[in-house]
């Protein structure tokens, strides 16, 4: 039995939906999920989020609907990530209600410390850094992606956990300068590579050492750039939506959007047009990619099929080491992505308005999907509705699940796979 976690961060609540019966089983009040940091599946039916009201990392057994740990971290939570084992987690801080960067705190949590979970907070540099936590064959490190000026900074997890309380400063002896426009990160523990979305393209870095090392750029092969990345370790693909016109937020209804799928071992890139409007986030099913679009002329859900090669490439993890990304490489074009089907969505009463930034007092749609079949969940923000659609059938009708909260801003969703033994994508979404 998989579990769908639904957060109503504006309503200070979080709930759990049984995906088999399509029913709400629990609704906890007093939880303010840090929406930008998202929810991080840890494997074994567990997941983690940052409670922006309580100042804690919350680890939950979603199958049992029980809180396993609450560990103090700095807030407001901006990014959340874990190492491949799920033991070490990193949390960076954002702006909160401020317009200017002010918090330079990064928290690291050891869930399996000998005397119980412990956390340490260190001061780095203010500015909403991205964060990943490396691991696997190498000692774990926290890699921070700074902005303005752009840089990658790698800190030893063991050193962070050794420092004292009271938030001491901790900086790497050497950093790697990068572009200022980084926004969106993924980490592949097999190859030890970190990927960052910038206006130049998908930039790759070797983060196995003390100092990150640049491995070049995979250019975007369509107009625009990505602001959000997802990584599927099984298929070894990075997925993004390229947004054209993002520098003019009030013109969001005319933004162009392109679905972008990159196979990291082969360098192959595939794309598909998505139409105009706001595409906030997307989700990966067992064999496809689900994208929810908001537009004044009508919202929709589109699902695209991944081909057999992409579905099978993850069966041989060593392939990631056979074709390292070195230097700037021209993209390898693949066949176009195939559209499986589209579903029209009932409008939201407080949807974004043309001429007004879509983030200003407007509701959106959160989205999540099953990794084992083709079911997709998405919200109807402001209406307290979660829709379940079996996208294996292009004519399937949505099943509506009502929750006690309104889900302003769209709320947030995470699909917890009951059979996943360990974390997959290691960055909270």
DSSP annotation string for 157-187 = HHHHHHS-SS--B---S--EE--TT---EEE
Quote the pLDDT of residue 321: 36
* Measured distance CA(118)–CA(108) in Å, rounded: 8
User: Within a 10 A sphere around the Cβ of 298, how many other Cβ atoms?
Assistant: 12
Quote the pLDDT of residue 342: 97
Helix (H) or strand (E) holding 228: strand 225-232
Task: Please report, in angstroms and rounded to a whole number, the separation of the first and last CA atoms in the chain.
Answer: 21
Q: Vertex 334, ends 330 and 335: CA angle to 5°?
A: 155
Mean pLDDT value of segment 50-66: 97
Confidence of residue 168 (pLDDT cuts 50, 70, 90): very high
Distance of CA 139 to CAs 91, 132, 142, 382, Å? 18, 13, 10, 44
Read off the tokens for 229: 């990345």
pLDDT, tens only, 268-305: 999 999 999 999 999 999 999 999 999 999 999 999 99
What is Dmax (Cα atoms) for the chain?
59
Statement: residue 264 has pLDDT above 90: yes
Q: Vertex 192, ends 191 and 195: CA angle to 5°?
A: 100
Confidence of residue 136 (pLDDT cuts 50, 70, 90): confident
Quote the pLDDT of residue 324: 40
DSSP annotation string for 265-332 = TT-EEEEEE--SSB---EEE-SSEEEEEEB-TT-EEEEEEE--HHHHHGGG-TTHHHHS---S----E
Helix (H) or strand (E) holding 152: strand 151-156
Overall pTM surpassing 0.85 (yes/no) = yes
Quote the pLDDT of residue 336: 80
355 within 8 A of 250, measured Cβ to Cβ: yes
């Amino acid at each position: 039995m998989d579990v769908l976690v639904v957060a109503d961060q504006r309503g200070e609540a979080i709930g759990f939906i049984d995906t088999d019966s399509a029913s709400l089983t629990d609704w906890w009040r007093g939880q303010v999920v840090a929406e930008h940091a998202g929810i991080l599946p840890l494997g074994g039916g567990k997941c983690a989020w940052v409670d922006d009201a309580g100042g804690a990392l919350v680890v939950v057994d979603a199958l049992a609907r029980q809180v396993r740990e609450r560990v103090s971290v700095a807030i407001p939570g901006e990014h959340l990530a874990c190492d491949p084992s799920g033991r070490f987690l990193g949390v960076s801080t954002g702006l909160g209600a401020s317009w200017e960067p002010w918090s330079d705190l990064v928290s690291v949590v050891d869930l399996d410390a000998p005397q119980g979970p412990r956390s340490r907070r260190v001061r780095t540099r203010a500015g909403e850094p991205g964060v990943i936590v490396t691991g696997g064959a190498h000692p774990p490190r926290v890699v921070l992606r700074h902005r303005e000026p752009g840089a990658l900074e790698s800190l030893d997890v063991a050193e962070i956990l050794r420092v004292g309380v009271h938030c001491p400063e901790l900086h790497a002896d050497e950093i790697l300068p990068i572009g200022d426009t980084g926004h969106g990160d993924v980490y592949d523990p097999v190859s030890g590579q970190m990927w960052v979305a910038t206006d130049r393209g998908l930039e790759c870095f070797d983060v196995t050492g003390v100092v990150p090392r640049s491995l070049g750029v995979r250019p975007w092969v369509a107009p625009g750039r990505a602001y959000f990345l997802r990584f599927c370790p099984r298929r070894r693909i990075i997925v993004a939506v390229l947004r054209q016109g993002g520098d003019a937020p009030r013109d969001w209804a005319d933004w162009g959007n392109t679905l972008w799928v990159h196979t990291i071992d082969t360098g192959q890139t595939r794309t598909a047009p998505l139409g105009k409007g706001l595409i906030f986030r997307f989700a990966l099913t067992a064999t496809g990619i689900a994208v929810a679009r908001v537009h004044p002329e009508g919202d929709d859900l589109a699902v695209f099929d991944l081909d057999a090669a992409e579905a099978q490439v993850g069966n041989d993890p060593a392939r990631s080491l056979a074709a390292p990304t070195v230097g700037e490489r021209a993209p390898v074009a693949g066949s176009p992505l195939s559209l499986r089907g589209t579903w029209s969505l009932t409008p939201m009463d407080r949807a974004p308005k043309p001429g007004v930034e879509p983030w200003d007092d407007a509701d959106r749609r959160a989205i999540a999907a099953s990794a084992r079949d083709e079911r997709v969940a998405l919200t109807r923000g402001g209406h307290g509705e979660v829709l379940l659609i079996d996208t294996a059938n292009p004519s399937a009708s949505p099943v509506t699940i009502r929750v006690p909260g309104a889900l302003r801003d769209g709320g947030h969703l995470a699909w917890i796979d009951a059979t996943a033994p360990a974390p997959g994508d290691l960055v909270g979404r």
